Amino acid sequence: MTATTETIGSTIEPGPGLEALHHWVDQVASLTEPDHVVWCSGSEVENRALLTEMVAAGSLIALEQGLRPDSFLARSDPADVARVEDRTFICSATEADAGPTNNWREPDVMRTELTARFRGAMRGRTLYVVPFSMGPVGGAISQVGVQITDSPYVVVSTRIMTRMGADALAQIGPDTVWVPALHTVGMPLVDDDGTRIPDVPWPSNSTKTIAHFPETREIWSYGSGYGGNALLAKKCFALRIASSMARADGWLAEHMLLIRVTTPTGKVLHVAAAFPSACGKTNFAMMTPTLPGWKVETIGDDIAWLRPGADGRLWAINPEAGFFGVAPGTGPDTNPAAMTTVHSNTIFTNVAMTHDGDVWWEGASEEPPRHLIDWRGRPWEPGSVTPAAHPNARFTVAADQCPTISDDWDSPDGVPIDAIVFGGRRATNVPLVAEAEDWEHGVFFGSTISSEQTAAAEGPVGELRLDPFAMQPFCGYNMADHWAHWLEIGDRLGSKAPRVFRVNWFRKSSDGGYLWPGFGENVRVLEWIAGRLDGSADVDWSPIGGLPAVGALDLVGLDLDGFALDELFAVDPAAWSAEAEQLRAHFDRFGDRVPARLQARLDQLVRRLRDKALAEKTRSGLSGFR
C-alpha cells in the first residue's frame, strides 16, 4: 500500500536541512503502512477540519456554543485513562544510568520489540507529521521536536500545548538538533489479510509501551491515546528526554511551576516551585492573593526549563503553550482563574456532560446538576456510587486564555529566577515554610521531598513517599546523578544562585484539621520569602532550616491561635530523627552515586537534631530542678 502525502489548509515547503526528517517520515510510513501522510501546518483551517472530522466520527462531542464556545468533550476508552508508569521505560545504554526509580530496558531489545509492534500499525489511518517548538519559536532556551502520530486528537491537543506547525518546522536546519517522537494508538483499520476493521471513537490497544532513548533522544509510544502517553511533547519530551539533554548541555528540565510576584511597592520577583501531584501546584500557579497590593501572575503550571544566562543568573521558560489540567477539584473557590480559563476553546476529556450541552466535574460547583451523562456516557444522578467525572479527567486549553497569565510568560529569553520553592503534602513534621542555608542545602531539600501516606489502603499512615524534586516519574536518568547536576549548576551560578525554600500547606493538628488555610493565603508565605530576599524579614535558624522569626509572618485577619502557630513551625527532634533514618534508606537506594555533599548534609541534620534534643532535655531537667 502506498500512502498519499498531503496537507490541510496550507502547504509545507521542504527546506534545507529537512532531508533527515523526510527520510525518517518515509521510514516510519513504510513500517506503519498508513493510507495517507499529512504534514501539519498548525493553521486554523487545518484545526477546524480535524475537529469537524472527529465530531463526525464520534471521537469528540461539540459542546453547546452558547455555554462553552468552541469547546469539545472526548470520552476515552475506560482502559486508557492515565499515565502507565509500569509500562514507561528509560532505554539508556546501561541500567545503572537509568537508576532504581526508572524501569529500564536494553535499547536494542526494546527497539526490536517496538519495530515489530509498529509494523502495519497505521493501516487504514492517516499518519500526521507534527512539528512543534517547546518554548517560544526561536527562543534562547527553546527546543524543537517532531511527532508522528495516527491520532487527530493528539494533533489538535498538541496545537494547544505547544507552538506547533510551519513556524516550528522552519527552525529545523542542517545542524538543528530535533527530537523524533513516534506514536500510534496501536489499532490498525486493516488486518493482515486486507480486511477492513470498523473504527471506534477512542482507538487504543490493551498493550501499551512508552519508551525513551536518552542517547539518541528518541521517543516511541505504542497503544495509548491518552495524555502524557500520547502527547509526547509533554512529560516524555519536556521532562524525560529534556532532563537528559539538559544534563549533557548544562541546564535543567524540571517539573516546576513558574510565577511572577509583584509586591505592593512594585518590586517584581520570579519564583519556580516543584510540588508532587496533589500538593496544590496549579492552585499556587494561579493564586488569587488575599493580601492587599500583592499580585501573582502565571507563567507556567507544570514544567520549567532553566538555564544559566549570560548575566550569571538562572533564567527559566515554560516550554509549553497550554495547560493539561486535572478537572476534578478545580472550582470557583479553589481556582477561579482556571474556571475562567476553560470557559471556551477547550478540549475536555472524561468529564461529565449536562443535559444542556455543558460539562461538569466534582468540585465544579457545590451541588451537582441533575441528569448528567457521566464520563462513560451513562446516565448519572447525584448520589450515584460512581463519580460523574473520572478522577483524572482533564482540560486542555491555551495558556494565554488564563486571566492571571503574566505578560512575560512567553518571553523568548525567559525570566530570571529569584527563588526556588519545594513542597510536599505532609500532615506532620515539615513546617509551613523553611529557608535553605545555601544552594547545597536547597538541593538537599529537593532530594528529600516527600508526602505522607494518608490512608490504610495506601500503606501505613505516616510512611513517607519520597518524590525527589517532584521528578521521580519524570527524570530521564539516574536520580542521584540529577542531584549531582543540580549541585554543579549551583557551583556555576555561585553567589547569583536563587535562594531556596521548602513549604508545606498541609500540616494537621492532632484532631486531623488543617492548621493553615492555604489557597490565596499562601501569599503570606511569599511575602516572607520576598522579605528574606531583600533582607527585611527576620529568621530563626533551626536544625532543618530557617523559620520565620516571631512576628515576621503576617497573620493579620487569620483565625490562628497560638497553639496552631506553634504546631505549624514545631520541629520535634524525635520525629525528625526517625524521618532522618527514612531519608538514609532513601539515599541508600542509589548507592555510591549519591553526592557526598548530600550525604554530609544528612549527617549534619542528624547531629543538629541530637544537639537540639539534648538541649531540650537539659532545659527540661533544669526546669524540674527549679
Residues catalogued as catalytic: 279
Backbone angles phi, psi at 584, to 5 degrees: -60, -45
Short-list 121, 83, 131, CA closest to 103: 83
* Cβ within 8 Å of residue 364, ≥6 positions away: 327, 330, 331, 339
- 45, 321, 606 from 272: Cα distances, Å: 37, 17, 29
The dihedral region occupied by 350, where left means phi > 0, alpha psi between -120 and 50, and beta the remainder, is left
How many whole angstroms separate alpha carbon 562 and alpha carbon 57? 61
C-alpha of 604 from chain center: 32
- 76, 160, 447, 512 from 127: Cα distances, Å: 20, 19, 41, 53
How many whole angstroms separate alpha carbon 457 and alpha carbon 454? 9
Which residue in the block uniquely carries the three cell numbers 535543567? 252
Short-list 153, 295, 165, 118, CA closest to 231: 153
* Cβ–Cβ < 8 Å for 225, 151: yes
How many whole angstroms separate alpha carbon 94 and alpha carbon 98? 7
Backbone angles phi, psi at 317, to 5 degrees: -125, 160
Q: How many residues does the chain have?
A: 626
How many whole angstroms separate alpha carbon 280 and alpha carbon 178? 33
How many whole angstroms separate alpha carbon 139 and alpha carbon 277? 29
The secondary structure of 459-487 as a DSSP string is SSTT-EEE-GGG-TTT-SS-HHHHHHHHH
How many whole angstroms separate alpha carbon 235 and alpha carbon 233? 7
The one-character DSSP state at 578 is: H
- 451, 504, 577 from 609: Cα distances, Å: 21, 20, 7
How many whole angstroms separate alpha carbon 26 and alpha carbon 127? 11
What are the DSSP E strand ranges found in 328-437? Answer: 346-349, 352-353, 359-360, 372-373, 379-380, 394-398, 415-416, 419-423, 433-435
Q: Which three cell numbers stand for residue 556?
A: 493579620
How many whole angstroms separate alpha carbon 427 and alpha carbon 431? 10
C-alpha of 321 from chain center: 13
How many whole angstroms separate alpha carbon 2 and alpha carbon 5? 10
